[in-house]
């Protein structure tokens, strides 16, 4: 699929994360990435920088292959997927993801 803007990509991204458990694994992966970045700076240990993408992508991709049953959007849209993952993480952290999912479902129904 071709997307011209992030706004076009965002609903597609969320559709690829339709199961709550998929989103939970992504949340855990993104939290691990952030923790690794903090630990890398605090300890001045570069190994945490190597661990960050392994943990982040590993947990997220696990959920796509074994829970959602689809191919990660990262494969076709790496930068927008990274942005969308942090966007979804923030919405989950602030308790606003369900509202966003409802908004997109209502928009799609029109």
Whole-number pLDDT of residue 108? 86
Residues of the chain with pLDDT under 70: none
What is the SS3 assignment for 37? helix
Tell me the per-residue pLDDT of 54-74, one tens digit each, with 9 for 90 and over: 999 999 999 999 999 999 999
- The predicted model scores a pTM of 0.93
Report how far Cα 83 is from the mean position of its chain's Cα atoms: 8
- CA dist., res. 46 & res. 80, Å (int): 26
Whole-number pLDDT of residue 81? 97
- The sign of the dihedral angle between the CA atoms of 80, 75, 60, 65 is positive
Whole-number pLDDT of residue 68? 97
């Amino acid at each position: 699929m071709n997307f011209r803007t992030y706004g076009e990509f965002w609903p597609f991204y969320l559709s690829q994360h339709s199961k709550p458990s998929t989103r939970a694994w992504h949340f855990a992966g993104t939290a691990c990435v952030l923790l690794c970045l903090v630990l890398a700076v605090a300890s001045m240990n570069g190994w945490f920088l190597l661990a960050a993408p392994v943990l982040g992508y590993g947990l997220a991709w696990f959920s796509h292959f074994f829970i959602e049953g689809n191919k990660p959007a990262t494969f076709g849209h790496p930068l927008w997927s990274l942005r969308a993952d942090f966007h979804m993480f923030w919405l989950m952290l602030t308790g606003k993801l369900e509202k966003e999912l409802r908004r997109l479902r209502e928009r799609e129904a029109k």
